[in-house]
Amino acid sequence: MLTWKDVINFSVKGNPTPDRRVEKTNDEWYKLLTPEQFRITRQKGTERPHSGALCSIHDAGKYNCICCDAPLFDSTIKFSSGTGWPSFTQPIKENAIKYERDTAFGMVRVEVMCNTCDAHLGHVFPDGPEPSGLRYCINSESMQLEKETANDK
């Protein structure tokens, strides 16, 4: 289980190696994504709080990157944080997420990105529920829910 110390270490000392890499030009990404998905994932944007389609959904399944379809989070670790964005306590696996120090807007935060394609997802904070204490605050537009089917059980 990842902790805040692990997150800080990744952001300072380097991220885990992803299982695979997907790299495209901005023009290629623009053709694949909606304008809002492109703004958020490729230009480090954010959606308005409580506006994302995945914010209040709690269906079973996996949340995958909207850009490259890499699995990012499992629905079993999603929780209602009241912040207005989908929130998770852990990534689906340690090397799914890339971490970078973010000093924009006069604050110090840790940006989280898809480790496969570098899509901006959101930020992680040390104010989540136990046992990890982490809150991955993720833009709905950066993910798609792959719902669990009866065959997946």
Catalytic positions: 137
Residues 6+ apart with CB under 8 A from 65: 72, 114, 116, 117, 119, 121, 142, 143, 144
Residues 6+ apart with CB under 8 A from 104: none
Give, in degrees to the nearest 5, the angle at Cα 122 between 119 and 123.
Answer: 125
Instruction: Enter the tokens of residue 8.
Output: 């800080």
Minimal CA–CA distance to 115: which of 63, 64, 70? 70
Taking the C-alpha atoms of residue 139 and residue 120, their distance in angstroms, rounded to an integer, is: 9
What type of residue sits at position 127?
A: D
φ/ψ (deg, to 5) at 51: -100, -15
